[in-house]
Amino acid sequence: MFPEIRLRRLRRTEGLRRMLGQPLPGPEKFIWPVFIREGKGVDEAISAMPGQSRMSVDVLLKRLKPVAESGVGGVLLFGLTDPAKKDANGSEAFNEKGAVQKAIPAIKKAFPQLTVFTDVCLCAYTDHGHCGPLNAAGEVDNDAALTLLQKVAVSHAQAGADCVAPSAMMDGQVLAIREALDEEELTDTLLMSYSSKFASAMYGPFREAEQSAPGKGDRQSYQASYSDLRTALRESEFDEDEGADILMVKPAMMYLDVIHQLRETTDLPVAAYNVSGEYSMLIAQAERGWGDLRAMVRENMAAMQRAGTGIFISYWASRYNELLKD
């Protein structure tokens, strides 16, 4: 003990700190979530998420060039559609000529080194903003949603997606999608499940970006409760049994304990989604002069890594060289 043992000796120089510390995750571990809409030359800044935009495919390809060159591993595509095209079932989500379906082959051609992930959900395409069709009582019809999610996933896989990622939090969605992919002989398509996705207050900026807020009610009946850890972990266990290849925790910063426990109980890769509210929160803090953005982002990523994150889904991916590269 002190005075013979002095732990400050191990922190005395930058060289020692670098030698003894764990390096930050490399760019190949990152996935950049992007928002795709129809048209050409579309570049709509998202006010709640400074530095992020809703983009048409041609604009996205330009924005992807420096991101791909930085070594970032992949992109996660979220589609938007014209409000006039939204309906009760979100049928535009599986339109073969939809924005996501067009973006996938364009990205694969321009940047074959990028792994293309797609979000499989209906909320941005339904006229009521929920993640599945509603029954007569106005509640989300779980089993009817499964058929629609199958169609979305298959349309993405047929367009060339490397991995489909169902986020609707419907019971049985992983099994249903895996069966649909197998039936279409799309057995090589990976499935990343939003397996422990919480009903979080941190999604506000995303819902502005995706124009996907529910018209009535909320999503607490199908997204996991942050006060019920055991059930949230069961969601991941069930998704693994149903055929998921990758499990995800969402959000990340406030759920490091969940990431850690999931990492300890599965041999599957574990992803964490560093969500919009977490992104915007750090930007707002830096803009007010209450913290250095680079330092905060690096600390955030180190915390996610310590907890057990292997794949980082983060809007910071588009700024990897600026904020995370040593």
Active-site residues, by number, are 197, 250
Q: Which two tokens stand for residue 12?
A: 């005395």
CA distance 159 to 120: 13
40 contacts: CB under 8 Å, gap ≥ 6: 56, 58
CA distance 316 to 314: 5
Please name the helix (run of DSSP H) or strand (run of DSSP E) that holds residue 75, with its range, or none. Answer: strand 74-79
Q: Which residues pair with 77 in a beta bridge?
A: 34, 118
Q: Which residues pair with 44 in a beta bridge?
A: 54
CA distance 195 to 157: 20
Radius of gyration over every alpha carbon of the chain, rounded to an integer in angstroms = 20
211 in the Ramachandran plot: left (φ > 0), alpha (ψ -120 to 50) or beta? Answer: left
CA distance 97 to 297: 37
Q: Which two tokens stand for residue 51?
A: 């530095």
Contact of 40 with 324, CB cutoff 8 Å: no
Residues in the chain: 326
Tokens 């509210």, located at residue: 277
CA distance 122 to 149: 8
64 in the Ramachandran plot: left (φ > 0), alpha (ψ -120 to 50) or beta? Answer: alpha
Contact of 118 with 161, CB cutoff 8 Å: yes
Where b means 16+ CB within 10 Å and e means fewer, 228-237 reads ebeebbebbe
